[in-house]
Structure 1
């Protein structure tokens, strides 16, 4: 569909995604209408379809974008393996730091999977597995070298990611503990749980 003359897609498109993200995180995907998103952006409901095919596409774009950004940020943060213990510490600190800055995106990524259609779910699940495989590879490397004692690396991977992502449910900047302290405490807990 062609853009209208004078359309500011580079401005309105991101505003549509930002409004959808906030509304989905606050009210849940099923409870939010395209009309609500349009009202938040300040455009007519019909204008939204210049920027997205439908509400499902908006949800998919948000979730896919979040996971692609996560994978890219990890590669920039830790491009090369140093050793299992150092890699695991880097992962713990990265995961908490990255997610603390994106609480709405994280909430949607974990709570709205059920609302993706099958094709979109497969793509998002594939990206999630890529990220889980990063941690799984670190744990397996540590297991193989005798640094970690993990009875089941897949289960340990899921448990560690769930524990780290759980920080998002309570952590707020400016609270009793600063981010670096939280990262250090969680690093101690993760290290103690996997160390041989």
Structure 2
């Protein structure tokens, strides 16, 4: 891929991030080289440092941007939705849609958490906890209103998130089950699992 003549810094950085997502998703963080990344974007290897400082910075930025977007989007999706049952339905639909659309980001955010420095990992884990807290708050409110029968809020949230996030490993948009039907099935599974 050759660099667009006269491309701007932000466009080049966006191309670097996109290429980084592809390379880390397919080969893994440890296997990806900055030389390979530069070639994919159409830059000289030394030119990468005009846009990113280190390979670790690239990984952190990719995961951090994903988490910040995830939190902003879930908050927007839940805004104005009243009642724990409706909020849980909205959360499930959002989570599935987002994770289907951003399979690479989700995979890297989980699989490459181990590759972050301790400081960077702490930042990402804090953001992940904030996202988990959105679901925990829904479950807690539903349990307090006796709409949900949940013995342990955090364990239930982790179990639901594991089930919902698993979509990234097996769902094929060209398969026999439509996205809408898939959301309906998962919503029913979640509600049956927590409804009092």
Query: What TM-score bracket applies, with the shorter chain setting the length?
Result: over 0.9
1:130 aligns with 2:130: yes
Q: Deviations over 1:53-77 (max 9, x none)?
A: 1000000000000010011111221
- TM-superposed CA distance for 1:174, in Å, is 2.1
1:58 aligns with 2:58: yes
Aligned length: 191
- TM-superposed CA distance for 1:172, in Å, is 2.1
SS at the partner of 1:30? coil
Over the residues paired in the alignment, what is the CA RMSD in angstroms?
A: 1.0
Q: Which runs of 5+ in 1 are unaligned?
A: 1-5
For 1:139 and 1:76, locate their aligned partners in 2 and report how far apart those are by CA, in whole Å: 19
SS at the partner of 1:175? coil
- TM-superposed CA distance for 1:81, in Å, is 4.4
| Residue pairs, 1:39-54, within 5 angstroms | 39-54=39-54
Give the corresponding residue for 1:26.
26
| TM-score, length-scaled by structure 2 | 0.95
| Residue pairs, 1:6-17, within 5 angstroms | 8-17=8-17
1:143 aligns with 2:143: yes
Give the corresponding residue for 1:161.
161
SS at the partner of 2:86? helix
Runs of 4+ aligned residues of structure 1 deviating over 6 Å after TM superposition are none
1:93 aligns with 2:100: no
Give the corresponding residue for 2:38.
38
For 2:7 and 2:182, locate their aligned partners in 1 and report how far apart those are by CA, in whole Å: 44
1:190 aligns with 2:190: yes
| Residue pairs, 1:69-108, within 5 angstroms | 69-108=69-108
SS at the partner of 1:29? coil
SS at the partner of 2:64? helix
Give the corresponding residue for 2:3.
none
Q: Which runs of 5+ in 2 are unaligned?
A: 1-5
